[in-house]
Amino acid sequence: MTIDVMTVNGSGCKQGSAEVIVSPDNTSFWVIYSDYLAQAGKGAGATDFRKNCQLTLQINIPQGFTYGIAEATYGGYGYLKPGATGYQSVNYYFQGQSATTTWKHSFTGPFDDNWSITHKTEFSEIVWSPCGEQKNLNVNSALRVDKGSSDANTNSFMTMDYQRGEVRTLHHFSWKRC
């Protein structure tokens, strides 16, 4: 199996700030972000509260097989003042399909630590690539920070990046024959 990155788009992953690495045993892949930050409060711009990244990946697999995302681990760093809330979400879908897998998680301030979330999909609920067709996999992640009732003179933020604590996002495949 090989993975080709077709596009990287979004406010959380400017060109050149996301790297995809396939595991040696072809059962998973990492996405390493280097500039993925959402923030709200003092000093934040009007659109800084929400950042997203859509990766379009061409997964080249052997004939007669299909795959889906069975598990994903996301991580980063969060600094949320009391009253602020942070959100991390991701969805997966194949080019031309409406079927999707979506995961969401929230964090409540006060929070000042590294974070890591693992999302697991039951085998019966995995969205599979179409058999016999080459369809791109879209991975659309987002971070959002809501300052809520936190002090107006403070700033809250969440990151999803590699530089803070060597955190990477890890995606595990599930395979089956067509």
Strand 2-9 and strand 111-120: the pairing is unpaired
Expressed in angstroms, the distance from the first to the final Cα of the chain is 16
Q: Could you tell me the pLDDT band of residue 167, with boundaries at 50, 70 and 90?
A: very low
Q: Could you tell me if 94 and 138 are in contact, meaning their C-beta atoms sit under 8 angstroms apart?
A: yes
Mean of pLDDT values over 18-32: 79
Burial 131-157 (b: 16+ CB within 10 A, else e): eeeeebbbbbbbbbbbbbebeeebbbb
Q: What is the mean pLDDT of the chain?
A: 88
| Most confident of the following: 18-27, 33-42, 154-163 | 33-42
Detail the DSSP E strand segments found in the chain: 2-9, 18-22, 28-33, 37-41, 50-60, 65-80, 85-94, 101-108, 111-120, 137-146, 155-159, 169-177
pLDDT tens-place string over residues 66-125:
999 888 888 899 999 999 999 999 988 999 887 687 889 999 999 999 998 888 888 888
Q: Could you tell me if 71 and 121 are in contact, meaning their C-beta atoms sit under 8 angstroms apart?
A: yes
Give residue 29's region: left, alpha or beta (phi > 0; psi -120 to 50). beta
- Which pTM does this prediction carry? 0.86
Q: What is the pLDDT of residue 104?
A: 92
| pLDDT exceeds 80 at position 22 | no
Secondary structure (DSSP) of 127-145 = PPPPTT----EEEEEEEEE
Any bridge partners for residue 28, and if so which?
172
pLDDT tens-place string over residues 68-85:
988 888 889 999 999 999
Amino acid at position 118, single letter: T
Q: Could you tell me if 76 and 167 are in contact, meaning their C-beta atoms sit under 8 angstroms apart?
A: yes
| pLDDT exceeds 50 at position 165 | no
